[in-house]
Amino acid sequence: MSLQVQPRVSLKPFNSFGVDVEAQLFAEAHSDADVRDALAYATAHAVPLLVIGGGSNLLLTADIQALVLRMATRGIRVLSDDGSQVVIEAEAGEPWHPFVQHTLAAGLSGLENLSLIPGTVGAAPMQNIGAYGVEIKDVFAGLTALDRQTGELRDFTLQDCNFAYRDSVFKQQPGRWLILRVRFTLSRAAHLHLEYGPVRQRLTEQGIDQPTPTDVSQAICSIRSEKLPDPAVLGNAGSFFKNPLVPASLVAHLKFEYPDLVAYAQADGQMKLAAGWLIEKAGWKGFRDADTGVHKLQALVLVNYGGATGLQLLELAQRIQQDISQRFGVELEMEPNRY
């Protein structure tokens, strides 16, 4: 067995909140064989298995009594190329942003709006990662996952994944599917999505009126770097709450009291509220309690100033949820995966 299992490993370097909890057992998977060895090890030792990627969407509230398996498999390959569309596959452990850059350098369009999202390729389908008007479902070609219940491999189509806003079958069936590799259909011709206000504005400021996918990626990287804390400097897990989908009638009601309320119409008739606006309006932006806080530039991001525990961050999140519910009658749902 090539898998190296270590006892009692601090997970501080392996979660972007920088929360210091310990894994009972820890290993890294560099191949499918390592993944199978980890499953066998967990079964033989009667411990649960927790799979992680970059740890950028985790809230760890206690020591993890499990074998924590960090996906470190690497490899990117072109599966087909008809001259206009290319199907490209990446292993689960590939870091997401370098993979996006790899596709752009190869002259492929489709992932540029998803630039600078932390984490791995294998975790991207978990919550159908999205930013600036694009979600991975828009360019998704398929994935291969291991069914942890049967040990069998399964290929998933777009329909199988049940993708929705920050949601998928993988999130709905926690712990069942271990994603090994993901495929995307990308284009040689650019089909750009510039409808999210700041993107077009940034390109215009730079004097770019005919942007390439790389221009869009660079504009998004610069916007994100200005607004979002770098986890290497200030612990965070990106947006802590999902933007709530609410009935249009509630938005109409709230607009009486808050004419500047930010809400976006959805195809199904619902409205999406900007959770960050609600939290900022309630006065939480820049709030700090001991080492937990709400980021001063983006109210949707909770931060760890150094020594916060997962439970303290959870407590702050719950206070915010309660306040938003009381003020606006809106229930905020947490986005990070809690363990």
Q: Per residue in 131-158, is it b (16+ CB within 10 Å) or e — as a string?
A: bbebbbbbbbbbbbbbebeeeeeeebee
DSSP three-state, residue 56: coil
Q: What are all long-range contacts of 211-219, with beta carbons under 8 Å and residues at least 24 apart?
A: 213/104, 213/108, 213/109, 213/110, 213/112, 214/104, 214/112, 216/112, 216/113, 216/192, 217/100, 217/101, 217/104, 217/112, 217/113, 217/115
Annotated catalytic residue, options 166, 181, 183, 202: 166
CA distances in angstroms from 75 to 17, 40, 92, 93, 314, listed in the order given: 27, 24, 9, 8, 36
User: Counting contacts by CB under 6 A, is residue 228 touching ligand NAP?
Assistant: yes
Give the nearer residue to ligand FAD in terms of CB position, either 236 or 321.
236
196 lines the binding site for ligand NAP (CB under 6 A): yes
Q: How far apart are CA 334 and CA 314, in angstroms?
A: 9
Choice from 77, 80, 264, 296 touching ligand NAP (CB under 6 A): 264
Residue 49, contacted partner among ligand FAD, ligand NAP, none, CB below 5-8 A by kind: none
Residue 337 interface partner, choices ligand NAP, ligand FAD, none, CB cut-off 5-8 Å depending on type: ligand FAD
User: Minimum distance from CB of 77 to ligand NAP (Å)?
Assistant: 28
Q: Nearest distance from residue 273's CB to ligand NAP, in Å?
A: 8
Which residues contact residue 220 at a Cβ distance below 8 angstroms, ignoring those fewer than 6 apart? 112, 113, 115, 116, 131, 132, 199
Residue with tokens 């984490």: 119
Residue 119: contacted member of ligand NAP, ligand FAD, none (CB under 5 to 8 Å, by partner type): ligand FAD
Least distance to ligand FAD, CB of residue 313, Å: 13
CA distance linking residue 40 with residue 304, whole number of Å: 36
Q: Which does 196 bind (CB under 5 to 8 A by kind): ligand FAD, ligand NAP, none?
A: ligand NAP
Which residue, 300 or 317, is less far from ligand NAP as judged by CB? 300
Q: How many residues of this chain interact with ligand NAP, rule: CB under 6 A?
A: 19
Residue 187 annotated in active site: no
Please say if 335 is a catalytic residue.
yes
Query: Which among ligand FAD, ligand NAP, none contacts residue 56 (Cβ within 5 to 8 A by kind)?
Result: ligand FAD
Q: Residue 168 and residue 156: Cα distance in Å, rounded?
A: 12
Residues binding ligand FAD (CB under 6 A): 16, 51-58, 71, 92, 117-120, 122-124, 126-127, 129-131, 177-179, 228, 231, 236-238, 337
Query: Is 274 near ligand NAP (CB under 6 A)?
Result: yes
40, 27 in Cβ contact below 8 A?
Answer: no
Interaction of residue 238 with ligand NAP, rule CB under 6 A: yes
The residue number whose beta carbon is nearest to ligand NAP equals 238
166 is catalytic: yes
3-class DSSP state of 187: strand
CA-only gyration radius of the chain, Å = 21
We find the least distance from the C-beta atom of residue 193 to ligand NAP, in angstroms, to be 10
Given the rule CB under 6 A, which residues bind ligand NAP?
130-132, 195-198, 227-228, 238-239, 243, 264, 272, 274, 276, 298, 300, 335
Q: Which residues are identified as catalytic? A: 166, 239, 335
